[in-house]
Amino acid sequence: MSYMPARNHAAYWAFAAHRLSGLALAVFLPLHLYVLSMAINQAALNGFLDWAENPLVKLAETGLIMLLAVHLTGGLRLLALEFLPWSEAQKTRIALAFGLALAAGLLFFVLAW
């Protein structure tokens, strides 16, 4: 008989968000390195920077910051699980982690516009 995790538990969703944000960041990383390589060719970099002023790109940057914040807070949650004693306040910690990730993304959104 195989084990099926409870998918309606906050810890499962925290696990899923951490893994999915990590995968999304892994997909983004080669694109980021490609853009960094444009610094060699000033004209290409200037063209990209002009394109990056597009509001949809700004929105995507906000999503990226949120992904980074979710992944960071998910990693901190895992460290807390490893090194701190377990308590019933775990759901509160998970909610706090997501709230901090959302706040970081929204702060970037407000400052970027």
For the chain, which residues make up each domain, given as ranges?
11-112
Q: How many CA atoms lie within 13 A of 48 on its CB side?
A: 14
Contact indicator for 65, 104 with CB cutoff of 8 Å? yes
Domain spanning 11-112: CATH 1.20.1300.10: yes
By C-alpha distance, which of 58, 54, 59, 67 is closest to 28? 67
pLDDT, residue 7, reads 76
All residue ranges of the chain with pLDDT < 50 are none
- DSSP code of residue 2: -
pLDDT, residue 113, reads 74
pLDDT, residue 3, reads 65
pTM, rounded to two decimals: 0.65
